[in-house]
Amino acid sequence: MNQFAFSILFILFTFNTVNPPIISADAASKHIGKTVKIVDKVYSSKMRGNDRVLHIGGSAEHQYLTIIIKAEENTDLSEQEKTRYTGYNIYVTGKLVKYKGTPAIIVTNPKQIGIVMVDHDLHQAFN
């Protein structure tokens, strides 16, 4: 019976890490410490040192979520991707943390983030 219980827990854990829940950016503060997927609009983008910072759900003063793309991941993104986030809907997956009092996701892999360009990309964003 213990092996059965372990198998069920393993399956549930694996399923949960492969497909994190999709939440809105304005709900991010309620999910600190959890791994989630968010699809929303980038209102502004700037460089802070070597890191790229994206403001989601509003301008810097009114954002719901901050996305931080660390410098080493920045090098894996094309120049076009680095500059064209602003004004686009993106999807981002990661663990929510607090950063300067605001919910944030720190991108540690370029596969965590992408631009939703057309409707078929929405399917990718939600799967």
| Structural domains present in the chain | 22-125 (2.40.50.140)
The pair of three-digit structure tokens given for residue 33, joined into one six-digit string: 């410490």
- 101 versus 71: the higher-pLDDT residue is 101
pLDDT tier at 97, thresholds 50, 70, 90: very high
- 30 versus 5: the higher-pLDDT residue is 30
Strand 102-107 versus strand 51-56 pairing type:
unpaired
Do 80 and 52 touch, CB atoms closer than 8 A? no
pLDDT tier at 114, thresholds 50, 70, 90: confident
CA distance 105 to 121: 21
pLDDT tier at 52, thresholds 50, 70, 90: confident
